[in-house]
A and B are shown apart, each in its own frame.
Chain A
Amino acid sequence: MTDTSGLKLTAVAISLAGRELIALDTRVACGEVLTVMGPSGSGKSTLLAYIGGFLDPVFSARGSVQVDGQDMTTLAAEERHAGILFQDPLLFPHLDVADNIALAIPETNGSRRDRRRMALLALSAAGLDGYGDRDPHTLSGGEKARVALQRVLMSKPRLLLLDEPFSKLDAGLRAQMRTLVFSTARAAGLPVVLVTHDEADAVAAGGAIHRVGDDL
């Protein structure tokens, strides 16, 4: 019996103007982390874009992306449920903190008020009690990062894409967030793809490492 759970990348290759940037054929089990490492400009982020479904059309890509046995390659970005975290928390500036999270909760989950209540609960769980009505701009860097993480989780993602999510945090906070993100993903049983140029990230992630751009 073949195990189809987790993320499966089959013969994925991305190139720009005929030059291959990245080629990969691997599987990331639920709760595991695949770390993609490479210098900036190596095109490692395009892998996340390809998996997430928003690769810029200037790149050409082939290969299939499967999650839990379902082929994602032809799905639109919003149907892939690939939660993503960038190095900036990118909280929506026009919404308060609770609505940032409420917006992520699938529409099938009750009324507007229900979802807001769920968002407030999620904030409490993240130790951000009473932050619901705050303007995201007034939060500290660590608080923003935690809200961003809660936002992704509440959208019920099927996998997690991390694009150097810790690189802008200061050293103390960075270790703390690493632990939080990876343990949360493991607890939720999500396959994770992490793109980074920080060896410490890879060590903390503890999974397989794929290096790109070294031989160029």
Chain B
Amino acid sequence: MIELSLREVTKRFHRGGEIVCALDRVTLDVPAAQFCVVMGPSGSGKSTLLHLVAGIDAPTSGTVIVDGRDLAAMSDDERTLLRRRRIGFVFQFFNLLPTLSALENAALPLQLDGVRRAEAERRARDLLGDLGLGDRLDHRPHQLSGGQMQRVALARALVGDPALLLADEPTGNLDSRSGEEVLALLRETATVRGHTVLMVTHDERAASVGDRIVHLVDGRVGSDTTTARAAAAR
């Protein structure tokens, strides 16, 4: 089953009177439960691709289909609900709300969705426990290490049991040990929980945990390869 599909997607920006083409007729299919890594140098269009998939930006042309639905045909509210219920998002800088505890941050999408606070926090607590943060539930972000913050962010992304997990340079702001821990968790997410993962990175080592690596060069797909790990698994 195809979880995510991009058809001839182009994105152009106006910048300083010039038109910059961030993505140029990109076509990409990601099947369910695949861990797909998008790599490329700065400005190659990887973040733009992620934003288009998340529905927080719209393509200039082409079609983006997530969870079987064409994003362009949906209203802003529908796209928001899709993000809330079917997509998890992990950022480079964690983006936790500073005033909320780890537990509250993790429970946020459920609470936004109207799940009762006790129920939302119960589910968040279980998940944080699984991610090794059972003793950090009441800590605020500034009381946590980088790796711990990224795990809270991961819990927030996973708490609604999404079909698709988007990760934007999730190890970019972590030391190598914490980075490896987070990558292992992402890997587990795809393998054990069966979530589809789309991760953007420019770190070769990070990319190696994926099933497939798509290289973007100047907004186009330069190469699309299966990783050794995936080949071995096959």
**A, B bound:** no
Interface residues of B (CB under 8 A from A): none
Interface residues of A (CB under 8 A from B): none
